[in-house]
Amino acid sequence: MTREQILRDYLNYYQDLGVKTVYRRKPTVKTEAAAKLLQEPVAEKPEVGSAIVAPVIKETVQIKVTPAAVSTSVILPSLAPENETLAQISSDIGDCKRCRLCEGRNKIVFGSGNESAGLVFVGEGPGADEDAQGLPFIGRAGQMLTQMIENTAEKEGIPIKRPDVYICNVVKCRPPENRAPQPDEMEICGQFLFRQLMVLKPKAICAMGATAAKAILATKEGVTRLRGNWHKWHDIPVMVTYHPSYLLRPYNQNAKREAWEDLKRVLHFVYD
Ligand code: URA
């Protein structure tokens, strides 16, 4: 395979995952394929245009690849094999320094729960408690989520508890002051979420809040408009609902009722 084909495979794969931009950064860890790619001789007649861009400038993946542009400073994200595992993704994340969120984090919050779960909940990003312990949704919003899952399941006669589902976030490091993740942070970290979801292949995904909805459905539509209806991510049904933190605010009683309705639908869909 020529290095152009290898590079094209990477780009197609990430485009399928919804990743629209790739970045060039300093080499740290060379993947086997990337190392091979770098060793191959440059094609005689390179095409015009490039997917590989300078660190601060980004371009879309729908481009022509210039073999000549593949310099020794290009490190590609590892191409997920068919039988990839969550452990492999976590090890790929490693001691991640891919974006500025690494600067203030204590622990990377990968995700937790049943890896064979039929249902995956996706939140925004770790808060202070999660950052301290390395586990998702263990603070106040987490207690709210646990209550929502377990109370609704019990009321509906569905025998599941929180450990039966899988829970993760769009970004794996805590954004400073709990601000919303920025688009480049979502995009960089989003590749890991996409790989997690591909490995988990749940029966349904519940996207909690605007950040999760935006990352999974690539939409600018707000939660209020998206919630209550089924959407799709790679053929997997997606229900959007309010983020548990939003439901903790006392004046959001109506949203709370709607979130319970959304959850009821998801639980029946997955477990009936
Ligand atoms: N909020 C999130 O979005 N995720 C967490 O893990 C905790 C709070």
Instruction: Determine the atom of ligand 1 nearest the C-alpha atom of 123.
Output: 3
Same domain, 140 and 259: yes
What CATH number did the domain enclosing 249 receive? 3.40.470.10
Q: What are the CA-CA distances from residue 84 to residues 10, 50, 139, 201 (Å)?
A: 15, 29, 30, 12
Q: Is the pLDDT of residue 253 over 80?
A: yes
CB 8 within 8 A of CB 46: no
Give me the domain span that covers residue 181.
86-271
Over the chain, what HEC string results?
A: CCHHHHHHHHHHHHHHCCCCECCCCCCCCCCHHHHHHHHCCCCCCCCCCCCCCCCCCCCECCCCCCHHHCCCCCCCCCCCCCCCCHHHHHHHHCCCCCCHHHHCCCCCCCCEECCCCCEEEEECCCCHHHHHHCCCCCCHHHHHHHHHHHHHHHHCCCCCCHHHCEEEECCCCCCHHHCCCCHHHHHHHHHHHHHHHHHHCCCEEEEECHHHHHHHHCCCCCHHHHCCCEEEECCEEEEEECCHHHHCCCCCHHHHHHHHHHHHHHHHHHHC
Same domain, 196 and 98: yes
Q: Is residue 120 part of a domain?
A: yes
Average pLDDT of the residues of the chain: 82
Count CA atoms within 13 Å of residue 21 on its CB side. Answer: 17
Least confident piece of the model among 39-53, 160-174, 195-209:
39-53
Residue 2's pLDDT band (boundaries 50, 70, 90)?
confident
Same domain, 181 and 61: no
Q: Is the CB of 136 under 6 A from ligand 1?
A: yes
Per the listing, tokens 């064979």 go with 116
Same domain, 105 and 65: no
Q: Is residue 80 part of a domain?
A: no
Least confident piece of the model among 21-25, 61-65, 114-118, 128-132:
61-65
For residue 8, the model assigns a pLDDT of 76
Same domain, 167 and 250: yes
Q: Is residue 196 part of a domain?
A: yes
- Look at residues 104, 178, 102 and name the one whose alpha carbon lies nearest to residue 140: 178
Q: Which residue has the higher pLDDT, 52 or 74?
A: 74
Q: Is the CB of 206 under 6 A from ligand 1?
A: no
Q: Is the CB of 131 under 6 A from ligand 1?
A: no
Instruction: Determine the atom of ligand 1 nearest the C-alpha atom of 169.
Output: 4
Same domain, 17 and 116: no
Strands of the 119-123 sheet, one edge to the other: 112-113, 166-169, 119-123, 204-208, 236-241, 230-233
CB 146 within 8 A of CB 162: yes
Q: Is residue 52 part of a domain?
A: yes
Q: Which of 22, 52, 75 is the last residue in one of the domains? A: 75
Q: Is residue 155 part of a domain?
A: yes
32 token code pair: 């086997």
For residue 81, the model assigns a pLDDT of 66
Least confident piece of the model among 29-33, 63-67, 122-126, 244-248:
63-67
Looking at the chain, the whole-number percentage of residues with pLDDT higher than 70 is: 73
Q: Is residue 43 part of a domain?
A: yes
Q: What is the pLDDT of residues 18-60, one digit of tens each?
A: 555 555 544 444 445 444 433 333 333 333 222 212 222 233 3
Q: Which of 44, 75, 106 is the last residue in one of the domains? A: 75
- The answer for 80, left when phi > 0, alpha when psi is -120 to 50, beta otherwise, is beta
Instruction: Determine the atom of ligand 1 nearest the C-alpha atom of 130.
Output: 6
Query: From the CA of 233, how far away is ligand 1's center (Å)?
Result: 21
Q: Which of 75, 105, 126 is the last residue in one of the domains? A: 75
Q: What are the CA-CA distances from residue 61 to residues 13, 52, 134, 171, 215 (Å)?
A: 10, 9, 33, 22, 17
For residue 82, the model assigns a pLDDT of 76
Q: What is the pLDDT of residues 134-159, one digit of tens each?
A: 999 999 999 999 999 999 999 999 99
Q: Is the CB of 77 under 6 A from ligand 1?
A: no
Q: Is the CB of 137 under 6 A from ligand 1?
A: yes
Structure pTM? 0.76
Same domain, 227 and 108: yes
Number of domains forming the structure of the chain: 2
Same domain, 146 and 234: yes
Same domain, 108 and 163: yes
Same domain, 113 and 185: yes
Q: What is the pLDDT of residues 79-125, one digit of tens each?
A: 556 789 999 999 999 999 999 999 999 999 999 999 999 999 999 99
